[in-house]
Amino acid sequence: MVAERTPETPLKWAGGKRWLVPYLLPLWNAYLQATPHGRLVEPFCGSLSVALGLQPERALLNDLNPHLINFWRQVQRGLTITLPMTNDKTLYYAHRARFNALIACGAAESAEAAQLFYYLNRTGFNGLCRFNSSGQFNVPFGRYKTITYWQTADFMRLAAHIAHWTFTVGNFEALALQPDDFIYADPPYDVEFTSYSAGGFSWADQVRLAEWLSAHRGAALLSNQATARIVDLYTACGFELIYLDAPRRISANGDRSPAREVLAARNVDIATVKTQSNTGKVHEDMVKAALISGGYAVVEQVKIGKRPTGKIHKIDLIASKDGVNLLISLKWQQTSGTAEEKIPFEVICLMDAIQNSEHYHRAYLVLGGNGWSLREFYTRGGLEKFLAYKDSVTIVSLEEFVKLANMGRLHQKAD
């Protein structure tokens, strides 16, 4: 086992940016070197995927959605799960009615509302958060096959990570900034050819946001859909732009097609960010850079013996530090790929390599890309029920691995 992992977000959120964390981490680390106690400001914090990925000591996290912010504040206070949570249509509509009753009687800022918000988010259609004109939550039942709900202990663990962060509800322009804040702004996507409000955020809002970010004296980063007018707007405001392929998004109609994303920066050196996101090569480069910055010696493509099938076993990377040698196997899966079906065999091969050599102490199996349906099953230890591998192999998402590698903590065992 490794040192304690940062929990991932408990929420499903449209436009969640967990996939962007490996790109943002080096930028955030460079900022911290210059500003050691710097603060992360997210005017559109949503599911906290980015803040949880960057793990700032100080953070100001804002969103216009009061139920979302109530949820985070209740988690900070130690959210206890007392309500029944099952993937059941009747229960869903009963919980939805109770949530709406709490809103109607002014009790939406409560622990009960936070539990209901969490349950509705996980169980409702596509994780959507929609309200009708009278402010009532109206998302239908989601029809998922299985849902794993977090327990009180999971929320307690998350609470420890977010304890010192400040949460606010409101429009982004109301935020009180400090000149050296690092702003990461992730507004609702611009939807081209409309001037009216899309996702509650109109074109006029997009323009005001660009002006607001331009007025900030410190580091400012913006992600958005790379529509022509967003590109023009940020170019005109003097930002530097790079383009990335967003994995897939959830939209109201369930469209999951890839989107071209733009990352715009002021007072941040984004030239270091690799721009072709969807290849195993970039995945490998990112992992290597993180290992080196965490103080590991790295060698690539090493023949370490034979696999149980008799074929040569070539490992992607070996990382060494303090006399500990780690085998690192990188698996990349695009949409509807089959890499995930090979994971149990890869675990067996890694265990076999460790058992047959005193040189290799432990292994990491890193899951990158966005085509996984079993990533959570693997990274939460689901395979352990069938295969006792935990002393030798850690299965981890790319984002988590990059974070631990950067901190130089891969080789340490938890107590």
Ligand X SMILES: C[S@@+](CC[C@H](N)C(=O)[O-])C[C@H]1O[C@@H](n2cnc3c(N)ncnc32)[C@H](O)[C@@H]1O
* Site of interaction with ligand X (CB under 6 A): 13, 15-17, 43-44, 46-47, 49-50, 62-65, 171-172, 186-188, 200-201, 205
> What's the min distance (Å) between Cβ of 131 and ligand X?
11
Task: Locate the DSSP E strands across 247-296.
Answer: 259-266
Closer by beta carbon to ligand X, 315 or else 402: 402
Distances (CA, A) of 170 to 131, 192, 229: 17, 25, 26
> What's the min distance (Å) between Cβ of 51 and ligand X?
9
Closer by beta carbon to ligand X, 47 or else 397: 47
Note whether 207 and 224 are within 8 A (CB).
no
> What's the min distance (Å) between Cβ of 189 and ligand X?
7
Residues near 24 by Cβ (< 8 Å), separated by ≥ 6? 50, 53, 54, 184, 221
By three-state DSSP, how is residue 183 classified?
Answer: strand
Closer by beta carbon to ligand X, 8 or else 340: 8
Query: Helix, strand, coil proportions of the chain in percent (round to 5)?
Result: 35, 20, 40
Closer by beta carbon to ligand X, 16 or else 368: 16
Nearest to 39 by CA among 205, 216, 181: 181
> What's the min distance (Å) between Cβ of 42 and ligand X?
7
Nearest to 11 by CA among 74, 83, 58: 74
Closer by beta carbon to ligand X, 49 or else 76: 49
Nearest to 319 by CA among 368, 379, 361, 274: 361
> What's the min distance (Å) between Cβ of 65 and ligand X?
4
Closer by beta carbon to ligand X, 5 or else 18: 18
Six token digits for residue 55? 């793990």
> What's the min distance (Å) between Cβ of 370 and ligand X?
14
